[in-house]
């Protein structure tokens, strides 16, 4: 990296951008984060190499994965200007927040500039993006403490939850963290609380998690009736997993009417190309007459003809 800087600036050697690029590339390919960011700048400016905003962006991302604040800044600017990647104001702001958190001196002013272009000054989607980046650890180093802090900011409090799509995503992520004990101690009651908040904002998969918890007795006593309601709500919103699990739940009750209904849900799941429905569907079929099965298949056809908005109106919360 020092040789690259020497050639670039002409320190002790004749200034030679091509040689600067070659030495920088070698260091970057060996994993030197500063060199990766510098290589991105060279590609962006066409200094010592043919200009390529796309290559610049790729090298900025590599450096950013190693917590280089200026690389975070450069990724943000790339998203802001649409250089080498599609223009995306929310993603630009998320990366600029990251740059600011990592100590880039220019990030605060840039954040103010980007913020002025948001409609209604709505920064919540960008904060959710940053939380997800910390959570997944794909583009930046994973940091559960930071992701959970941002999710909590967006979700509201345990006694006064926020509304809206962004809030529901954050609430569902908190549910997931507490459910598996990722970044926080495992806590089923808190998982249930946050999943209920997400369900209240119509986060589909929160219904499934709540149903599974009720069915298995996690965060409270086993309650098959509550589980059925959550599954049914999710099924009415066309969540395939809920259709399958509801069919399985009904097939296990030992009640003949439930077996007929199980046939309906499992047939619907099979129609959704869920292979896992095959075995329980065969098992429940053995308990039904051909006429009963035909009756349930007619219900499936009726379901397919029903407008999804009408099904949504049947959703009820336990």
Mean pLDDT of 224-251: 95
Percentage helix, strand, coil for the chain under 3-state DSSP, each rounded to 5: 70, 0, 30
Q: How far does Cα 20 stand from its chain's mean position?
A: 40
Mean pLDDT of 246-253: 95
User: Which pLDDT score, from 0 to 100, does residue 208 have?
Assistant: 96
User: Which pLDDT score, from 0 to 100, does residue 12 have?
Assistant: 47
Per-residue pLDDT of 144-187, as tens digits, reads 999 999 999 999 887 777 888 899 999 999 999 999 999 999 99
pLDDT at 119 over 80: no
DSSP 193-259: HHHHHHHHTT-HHHHHHHHHHHHHTSSSS--HHHHHHHHHHHHHTT-HHHHHHHHHHHHTS--HHHH
pLDDT at 82 over 50: yes
Q: How far apart are CA 281 and CA 251, in angstroms?
A: 9
Model confidence at 243, pLDDT cuts 50, 70, 90, reads very high
Mean pLDDT of 203-231: 95
User: Which pLDDT score, from 0 to 100, does residue 4 have?
Assistant: 47
Angle CA 60–65–70, to nearest 5: 50
pLDDT at 315 over 80: no
User: Which pLDDT score, from 0 to 100, does residue 290 have?
Assistant: 95
pLDDT at 14 over 60: no
Residue that wins the pLDDT comparison between 312 and 294:
294
User: Which pLDDT score, from 0 to 100, does residue 160 have?
Assistant: 76
User: Which pLDDT score, from 0 to 100, does residue 5 have?
Assistant: 56
User: Which pLDDT score, from 0 to 100, does residue 307 have?
Assistant: 85
Q: Which residue has the tokens 């089923």?
A: 188
β-strand partners of 193: none
Phi/psi of residue 224, nearest 5 degrees:
-60, -35
Model confidence at 313, pLDDT cuts 50, 70, 90, reads confident
β-strand partners of 156: 161
Mean pLDDT of 41-70: 95
Residue pair 49/26 in contact (Cβ under 8 Å)? The answer is: no
Model confidence at 23, pLDDT cuts 50, 70, 90, reads confident
pLDDT at 11 over 80: no
User: Which pLDDT score, from 0 to 100, does residue 3 have?
Assistant: 43
User: Which pLDDT score, from 0 to 100, does residue 108 have?
Assistant: 96
The whole-model pTM stands at 0.85
Radius of gyration of the chain measured on its C-alpha atoms: 27
Model confidence at 55, pLDDT cuts 50, 70, 90, reads very high
pLDDT at 10 over 60: no
Q: Which residue has the tokens 């030992």?
A: 254
Number of CB atoms found within 10 A of residue 216's CB: 11
Percent of the chain with pLDDT over 90: 78
Q: Give burial (CB, 10 Å; 0-12/13-18/19+) of 6.
A: middle
User: Which pLDDT score, from 0 to 100, does residue 301 have?
Assistant: 94
Tallying the residues shown for the chain, one arrives at: 318
DSSP 283-315: HHHTTS-HHHHHHHHHHHHHHHHS-HHHHHTT-
Q: How far apart are CA 183 and CA 35, in angstroms?
A: 32
User: What region does 169 belong to: left with phi over 0, alpha with psi -120 to 50, or beta?
Assistant: alpha
Model confidence at 33, pLDDT cuts 50, 70, 90, reads very high
Q: How far apart are CA 132 and CA 111, in angstroms?
A: 19
Mean pLDDT of 250-272: 95
Residue pair 208/230 in contact (Cβ under 8 Å)? The answer is: yes
């Amino acid at each position: 990296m020092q040789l690259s800087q020497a050639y670039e600036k002409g320190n002790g050697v004749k200034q030679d951008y091509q040689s600067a690029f070659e030495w920088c590339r070698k260091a970057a390919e060996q994993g030197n984060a500063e060199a990766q960011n510098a290589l991105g700048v060279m590609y962006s400016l066409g200094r010592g190499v043919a200009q390529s905003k796309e290559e610049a962006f790729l090298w900025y991302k590599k450096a950013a994965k190693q917590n280089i604040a200026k690389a975070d800044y450069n990724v943000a600017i790339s998203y802001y200007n649409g250089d080498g990647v599609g223009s995306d104001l929310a993603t630009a702001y998320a990366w600029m927040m990251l740059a600011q958190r990592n100590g880039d001196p220019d990030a605060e002013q840039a954040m103010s500039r980007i913020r002025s272009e948001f409609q209604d000054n709505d920064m919540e989607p960008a904060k959710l993006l940053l939380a997800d980046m910390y959570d997944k650890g794909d583009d930046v180093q994973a940091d559960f403490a930071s992701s959970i802090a941002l999710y909590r900011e967006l979700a509201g409090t345990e006694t006064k939850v926020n509304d809206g799509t962004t809030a529901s995503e954050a609430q569902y992520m908190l549910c997931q963290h507490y459910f598996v004990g990722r970044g926080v101690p495992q806590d089923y009651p808190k998982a249930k609380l946050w999943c209920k908040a997400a369900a209240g904002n119509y986060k589909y998969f929160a219904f499934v998690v709540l149903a599974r918890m009720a069915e298995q007795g996690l965060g409270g006593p086993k309650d098959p009736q509550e589980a059925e309601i959550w599954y049914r709500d999710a099924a009415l919103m066309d969540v395939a997993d809920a259709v399958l699990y509801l069919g399985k739940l009904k097939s296990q009750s030992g009640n003949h009417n439930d077996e007929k209904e199980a046939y309906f849900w499992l047939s619907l799941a099979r129609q959704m190309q869920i292979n896992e429905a095959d075995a329980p569907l065969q098992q429940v079929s053995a308990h039904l007459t051909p006429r009963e099965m035909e009756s349930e298949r007619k219900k499936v056809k009726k379901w397919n003809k029903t407008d999804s908005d009408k099904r949504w109106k049947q959703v009820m919360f336990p």
